[in-house]
Amino acid sequence: MMTDTLQNLSNALAQTVASASPSIVRVEGRRRLAASGIVWSADGLIVTAHHTVQKEEGLQVGLPDGQTVAAVLVGRDPTTDLAVLQAEAKNLTPLTPAAESMQVGHLVLALGRPGQTVQATLGIISALGDNWRTSVGGLIDQYVQTDVVMYPGFSGGPLVNTAGQLLGLNTSALVRGISLTVPAVTLQRVVDMLVKHGKVRRGYLGVNTQPVRLPAALEQQLGQEAGLLLAAVEPGSPAEQGGLLLGDTIVAVEGSAVQQHDDLLALLSSDRVGTSVKIRIVRGGQVQEMSVVVGERN
């Protein structure tokens, strides 16, 4: 009975790999080891990991049928480690997004095609969390950590469930030493923006800042040690139009504490371009809240 159960599981996993195989391509975007990519649309749109596309000309994609075709870079977003290519191919098979939500403990497969054939590794979802921002400010809609082994060339390939449906894109570049997956909802948002604009828009206020220690009373009131002093406010900038002044100290954006310039950059993400955000400042020793429409960095 146990032997039959294991054999059935083994056969089911092999079938899952076989069913997903037509949607996984090889991406030749760097000098040595090729990476993997996911077929996003039947007309040749491919999503892969940004860090594996180290050149912008002479790109090639290895198709499931063994052909190698030329591709061009549509756009890339280093902050979420995603890139989109347009391959000279038609009638490809996109992966179907997963119908059910992920849970810790679910069996998953990481798939790649760094060579001619599909490779696979089995694991589980080891941790799930809320949305988070990468060290360079990219918004990831859900924290997804697995225990799958990221073999060389697997970056850019898909994480699939036992039905062979897409859960996200695997990358080894976002956090060192941890197997993370960029979830499908983030892929959809970033791919749409890259196809439309060729880049992910970046927000800006038009200020120069420097970290400063808050007075003890404000530190206790706000629950943080530091803020960002505005050392310069560009004329005509979103900051000036929103009423921010030289000498103000930013302590929060939309309720998130700001203590270093990187904190501010992370909060001025593409999803906030053109929107009004609440910025908490200290002016003359008093805490105030201002509304500023985030601009777009050229």
168: left (phi over 0), alpha (psi -120 to 50) or beta: left
In single-letter form, the type of residue at position 18 comes to A
**pLDDT tens column, 137-148:** 788 999 999 999
Distance CA 238, CA 226 (A): 23
Rounded alpha-carbon distances, angstroms, from residue 284 to 102, 181, 220, 245, 281: 49, 45, 17, 11, 10
Of the pLDDT bands very low, low, confident and very high (cuts 50, 70, 90), residue 269 is confident
Structure tokens at 90: 């038609």
- Please give the average per-residue pLDDT across 48-60, as a whole number: 96
- Judge whether 291 counts as a catalytic residue: no
Q: State the span(s) of the chain assigned CATH 2.40.10.120.
A: 1-200
Distance CA 43, CA 22 (A): 14
Distance CA 69, CA 296 (A): 36
Of the pLDDT bands very low, low, confident and very high (cuts 50, 70, 90), residue 1 is low
CATH number of 1-200: 2.40.10.120
- Please give the average per-residue pLDDT across 23-30, as a whole number: 97
Task: Name the percent of the chain in helix, strand, coil, to the closest 5.
Answer: 20, 40, 40
We find that the CATH architecture of domain 203-296 is Roll (2.30)
- Please give the average per-residue pLDDT across 287-298, as a whole number: 92
Q: Is residue 224 a contact partner of residue 280, using CB atoms and an 8 Å limit? A: no
Burial label for 158, CB within 10 Å (0-12, 13-18, 19+), is buried
**Mean pLDDT of all residues in the chain?**
94
Q: State the span(s) of the chain assigned CATH 2.30.42.10.
A: 203-296
- Judge whether 50 counts as a catalytic residue: no
Q: Taking the model in full, what pTM does it have?
A: 0.79
pLDDT of residue 223: 94
Q: Is residue 116 a contact partner of residue 66, using CB atoms and an 8 Å limit? A: yes
**pLDDT tens column, 60-116:** 999 999 999 999 999 999 989 999 999 999 999 999 999 889 999 999 999 999 999
- The catalytic residue among 81, 141, 248, 263 is 81
Of the pLDDT bands very low, low, confident and very high (cuts 50, 70, 90), residue 4 is confident
- The catalytic residue among 155, 172, 269, 270 is 155
**pLDDT tens column, 32-42:** 899 999 999 99
> Which position has the token pair 């009975």?
1
Start-to-end C-alpha separation, the chain = 64
- The catalytic residue among 23, 51, 172, 248 is 51
